């Protein structure tokens, strides 16, 4: 079998897995269903991916690569923008990704949870053995800092061009922005859910989120000027 044919079969299985995993969730998906969707035998599917967990890690790798590509495009296509505007674009695209590519986004969050478990030998045993054996999982461990590296470049760019406060530390600032975005996305449904006793409106919270982000990146004196960027952020 030639390399091209092998790659095409792997791609077909991966596409089938993405569809079934997104519909049923990895836990409730059987490898037979993926094989049927890919119009291949179960045995041939296992030839390319040693377990359902190995296949899922291959899907997570694809999700991670798509997420990384989004970060890269912001940096390359926005090269004529200042760093602050790049961050605003990143916020827009991050939240769009979390909605439009929901399964991929959830897979990335799952990966971050797995890495958290993996880092501590005491909790590493909680990870499914087939995931620990997956070459795709170990590739992801090596790739996990690719996205922060791009985000840090964007923050550093803004510090250099004076669109972001010069006293900020690029690494911690990027991780703070990422954690804020993840928290906003995770809590958005709870804030919007009715009925609720909380005296907070989703739109008010959204505007406050924007204000805090601007204060972090540019300084409190810029916060009242948030109206010009709210539409771009959300």
What was the pLDDT predicted at 203? 81
Half-sphere exposure of 93 (CA within 13 A, CB side): 19
DSSP state of 164: S
Query: Domains in the chain, please, with CATH?
Result: 1-49 (1.10.10.60), 51-233 (1.10.357)
- The per-residue pLDDT for range 19-33, each reduced to its tens digit, is 999 999 999 999 999
pLDDT above 90 coverage of the chain, percent: 78
Q: Is the pLDDT of residue 68 over 50?
A: yes
Range 206-219 burial, b when 16+ CB lie within 10 A, else e: bbebbbebbebbbe
């Amino acid at each position: 079998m030639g390399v091209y044919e092998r790659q095409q079969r792997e791609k077909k299985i991966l596409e089938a897995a993405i569809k079934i995993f997104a519909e049923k969730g990895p836990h409730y998906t059987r490898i037979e269903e993926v094989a049927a969707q890919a119009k291949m035998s179960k045995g041939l599917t296992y030839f390319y991916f040693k377990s359902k967990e190995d296949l899922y890690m291959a899907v997570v790798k694809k999700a991670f690569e798509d997420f990384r590509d989004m970060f890269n495009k912001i940096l390359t296509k926005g090269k004529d923008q200042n760093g602050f505007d790049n961050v605003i674009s990143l916020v827009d695209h991050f939240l769009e990704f979390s909605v439009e590519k929901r399964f991929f986004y959830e897979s990335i969050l799952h990966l971050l949870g797995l890495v958290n478990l993996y880092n501590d030998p005491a909790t590493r045993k909680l990870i499914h053995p087939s995931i620990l054996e997956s070459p795709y999982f170990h590739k992801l461990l090596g790739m996990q800092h690719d996205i922060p590296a791009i985000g840090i470049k964007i923050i550093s760019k803004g510090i250099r061009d004076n669109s972001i406060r010069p006293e900020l530390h690029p690494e911690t600032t990027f991780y703070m922005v990422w954690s804020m975005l993840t928290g906003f996305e995770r809590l958005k449904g709870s804030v919007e859910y009715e009925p609720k006793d909380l005296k907070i409106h989703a739109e008010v919270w959204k505007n406050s989120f924007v204000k805090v982000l601007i204060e972090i990146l540019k300084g409190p004196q810029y916060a009242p000027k948030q109206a010009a960027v709210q539409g771009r952020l959300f």
